[in-house]
Amino acid sequence: MPPDAPADGLETELAAVAREVERALAEGELARAARRWHRLRASIRRSSGGARGSDPRAPLYPVSEDLIPTDLAKAQLLDTEGDRIDLDGLPLAYDARWGRLAWRSHPGGVEFLSLEATGGAGPAREVLPLPARSPGLDGPARLRLRGYLGYRLARDQSLGTAYEELRSTGESQVSLRDVLLADLQSTAGQVLSLAILRRALTTDRRGPLTREDIDLGIRATDMDALDRPTVGLRL
């Protein structure tokens, strides 16, 4: 073997060492993030008066009907610029007639765009005004929405987003309970607004929202839920 030739198996050994170093670095970062997470939870628990090991969401079950808003003027439905066409940043939904839809803000309210099968935006399908008030819900629709709000509250993400809100605004200014309740009310407003808009895309029917209408609003809301910032992104 020439004197400058690598020893047999050296490349494999070096690759194994590199993997171990990378794993140790990753595990160390995860451990530090876990410690920061536990410190944050303990701090918020103390400020909220909760007992060690208790779930701060427990007193909020079952979700109250009072969290279902009538006034939808403040519903946070859109946060995109009207002239934005970057589809990666637009909320999406599926429509039985038009297939995949995206929507964005528009001077007239909300513009719905169909998406091409090959990618990219297709023609604008409809521009609808943002709903100002809820038309009400029938019994099954109300039960469905309360069930969804309970499901959202039970997700780990509900605490993650609440902790991020407290971390960014200063936990002494507002309680964890208030943040969770405000988030549920905001979610309910988004579901109602999207249910009204999705119904208006396909029918002229008026009157209280049905369970089928709420299901459309839930699907559209939930597809966008994973993009919300949580404290995990900061740890």
Is 108's pLDDT higher than 50? yes
pTM of whole model > 0.85? no
DSSP for 67-114, written as a single string: GS-SB-TT-----S-TT---GGGS-EEEETTTEEEEEEEETTEEEEEE
Is the alpha carbon torsion for 194, 153, 32, 170 positive or negative? Answer: positive
pLDDT bucket at 81, cuts 50 / 70 / 90: very low
pLDDT tens track for 167-198 = 777 655 678 888 889 989 999 999 999 999 99
Q: What is residue 235's predicted lDDT score, i.e. its pLDDT?
A: 43
Instruction: Find tokens 């595990």 and name the residue.
Output: 27
- As a whole number, mean pLDDT of residues 9-35 equals 69
Q: Are strands 109-115 and 92-95 parallel, antiparallel or unpaired?
A: unpaired
Higher pLDDT, 161 or 129: 129
Report the distance separating Cα 37 and Cα 45, nearest Å: 12
pLDDT tens track for 29-53 = 667 666 766 766 666 666 555 555 5
Report the distance separating Cα 169 and Cα 159, nearest Å: 15
